Structure 1
């Protein structure tokens, strides 16, 4: 009799295996996405918007949990220690995933090993922004002046270790110029000093720059991506401006704790793609200046590896020391 019961249990488990293999039992309860930045941040808005569609699809709520601190490292660290059941996920972006580990001594995780990549969701173009009355009309003019006057120009960013900062450093390396970096606590004070003439240009996300451009206070000299951005189609790319191959995207994705079930991972990937197809989500992407990306979990894994290596090289070449 005991043997018979064991056999029946094994048969039942085998019958259920295909369903679990497809992630069909997921989610059975609320799913939390940790956003390692304050409420109102673009990542916060992104997941609250996607959460509406995903909650309807799942019949279970998606909860956004803001855990700011250490440039995103605090929230990221929490997720690495969460159960690998798919119920605690992370809004992973270029800062805490690809850049922060090279600059922040408090980062104890390895983004290539300590997360399960799920999807590269979206990206935002970076831009070189000057005042409307700046002497520089093109990037070539800016580079020529910087070469003739090493150390005399400066640029502002949203802070040390930000995607904007590292984009500026990569620009300097590719252009072979010496320009002083001035870090700010966010983009707003950087723009204030740009308008006041304290910095010569700002490197920032194009979505933040466009309102100043529309009000005729500033101009975009160039954008960081390989192709022109539809948000500012008249702005040339840095590749068009004499730096061939320059291609930088400030990106946002979804990752989970290490060793997640591949079936659950792929189920989440498919459902996020479905949510991204919703018209309301597309409208939010447009308002935030985001480009939808998508792709498989393996695509995202390879992308994280390449971004981690790329920004590590930039940090090393710039001589930036971890803090």
Structure 2
């Protein structure tokens, strides 16, 4: 942490009395203990909503149509006002990424689009002790930064390794795709995809399209099935591929609802916050007012502008 960032933290913490600190510390300790004892029933409670699953927003990616042009990456950055960067993985400034898989003998290859899968029952949401991640009735999984306490359970719980922690900020936040939740024309990546590898629509419509392609091209697609229809309880991002799913970075999952995998995160709770520095940091984050968070966010934006 720089001297400037440290001074900012010290100023904010000076307004926190010893009694307040102990109250918040006790509350957080109790919360962490409760989180570590979450049952499978509780973990499964975040999914669902008033809108039928087949009518929820979704995204379909056919890897056999993808040419690796990366127009989807550019569109995502423009729409979300993200910095340009060269990275090999998702980050605080990269919500989607196209990668190329190629076998050692060069006889097999495929592009793959990495992004949040927007699970039907997301492990990230069920593992978050403060509800900073939520599965909306419309389908997308959204992140609310003002609720986040920086515990990073979501990073531990996600079987796709999607949530990214923006370490470049004095007040780090989780960053990920929100499926362009408030965009009327659908996800920016899909509207920018000229080869037709990406299509947005309802989950029911997209599953129908995917299955029609499988039926029209016997043997073209791996196992003649759609990844995300049932995998891990289902996802709102559906994928077709000519090569095995594990070769393009998709984990082998059963049809069991994804919150099951959140148990890994909750078991790790006592270790994530081992040490006084980590504990103090989470108490500080939890006691920041909305005004302080917004003020710090504006300050970070100004500093970024000065360095560009």
The alignment's TM-score, normalised by the length of structure 1, stands at: 0.24
**Larger-Rg structure:** 1
Structure with the bigger percentage of strand: 1
